[in-house]
Amino acid sequence: KVAKADAKHQKIHSEKRRKDSSDRKTGNEIFDKITLETLYKLANQGYIDVLNGAISTGKEANVLTGITDDEKFVAVKIYRIATSDFKKMDYYLKGDPRFNVKTKNKRKIIYSWVTKEFKNLTRLHTAGVTVPEPITSSNNVLLIEFIGDEDGNPAQPVKNQPPQDPDDFWNKLLVQLKLFVNEAKLVHGDLSNYNILNLNEEPVIIDVSQSVVLDNPISKELLERDINTLVREYTKLGVETSFDEVWEYVNPK
Ligand code: ADP
Ligand code: MN
């Protein structure tokens, strides 16, 4: 009821699309042909009914709020084929035994990248880490649980919304980090307060496309970097901690 009254909301079923100027503009700027086709497919399969405005416009991906047929919010992460960093994707994909990407086809690399994020989320969710629950992925589009309130306001990254009780939040985060490494056997690889959402003072870890399995030869280096980043950020927030303390606690086996 909140959603459908808003004129900015965009029906994505092709037959229902209105060809007003804002519609066309969105189409040109955000969605290329493949993205549109993928979104139509997801709409026809019943995953999304309405696409809302953007939560975030990043370097490589846009995140939008979607609304399902039964009026629930979902997060729609759309990788932009034109501006993706294929060198980075290739670097993180090639050490992963789950993927065998020998192609130079940029589109296929992105699709593997999205599949990797989906698989990582599945693995993390199964291990009990608080991440958005993955719903489905197709081509360059990833559908995941919306993290926010029931009116559709997204939870903010900790960077923008620091915890009220940093020590308490840090302890919760360490529990998540330990599960991440020891249960899911993954290393995040880009962990910082930009990729941790503050959901009512509970940490929710996001953005796991680059996360690697412990077997990946670069995992140790990435874990060291992640821990250093967190220690720096949370020390600034007033938490007393150190690299050794966190490394010891997380204790990757
Ligand atoms: P990027 O590669 O652009 O950094 P992220 O996965 O970090 O992509 O998402 C970018 C931003 O989108 C996040 O900082 C957060 O504000 C928002 N976001 C991402 N996933 C969700 C989600 N599941 N629910 C609510 N907001 C989200
Ligand atoms: Mn991010």
* Residue that is last in its domain, among 105, 126, 145: 145
Q: Within a domain: residue 227?
A: yes
Cross-strand partners of 138: 141
Whether 2 is covered by a domain: the verdict is: no
In this structure, the answer to whether residues 134 and 236 fall within a common structural domain is: no
Highest mean pLDDT among 8-17, 106-115, 213-222, 230-239: 230-239
**Rounded to an integer, what distance in angstroms lies between the CA atom of residue 63 and that of residue 79?**
9
157 lines ligand 1 (CB under 6 A): yes
In the chain, the number of structural domains is 2
Collect all residues with Cβ–Cβ distance below 8 Å to 54 and sequence separation of at least 6: 30, 62, 63, 64
Q: What is the per-residue pLDDT across 51-80, written as a single tens digit (0 to 9) for each?
A: 988 999 888 899 999 999 999 999 999 998
207 CA from centroid of ligand 1 (Å)? 7
Let me know if 32 is a catalytic residue.
no
Looking at the structure, do residues 56 and 75 belong to the same domain, yes or no? yes
Higher pLDDT, 14 or 105: 105
CB 65, CB 146: distance < 8 Å = yes
Q: Which domain holds residue 188?
A: 156-250
Minimum-distance ligand to the CA of 79? 1
- Domain C-terminal end among 96, 122, 145: 145
d(CA 64, CA 80): 13
What's the angle, vertex CA 197, arms to CA 127 and CA 61, rounded to 5? Answer: 95
CATH number at residue 245: 1.10.510.10
- How would you classify the pairing of strands 73-79 and 141-145? antiparallel
- 90 & 178 share domain: no
Of 9-23, 40-54, 147-161, the range with the lowest mean pLDDT is: 9-23
Average pLDDT, the chain: 88
Q: Is 190 a catalytic residue?
A: yes
The pair of structure tokens assigned to 207 is: 């953005």
How confident is the model over 192-233, as pLDDT tens digits? 999 999 999 999 999 999 999 999 999 999 999 999 999 999
Residue 61 lies in a domain: yes
Co-location of 95 and 184 in the same domain: no
Do 187 and 244 lie in a common domain?
A: yes
Which of 94, 121, 145 finishes a domain? 145
pLDDT at 89 over 80: yes
pLDDT band at 18 (very low <50, low <70, confident <90, very high): very low
Ligand nearest to the CA of 59: 1
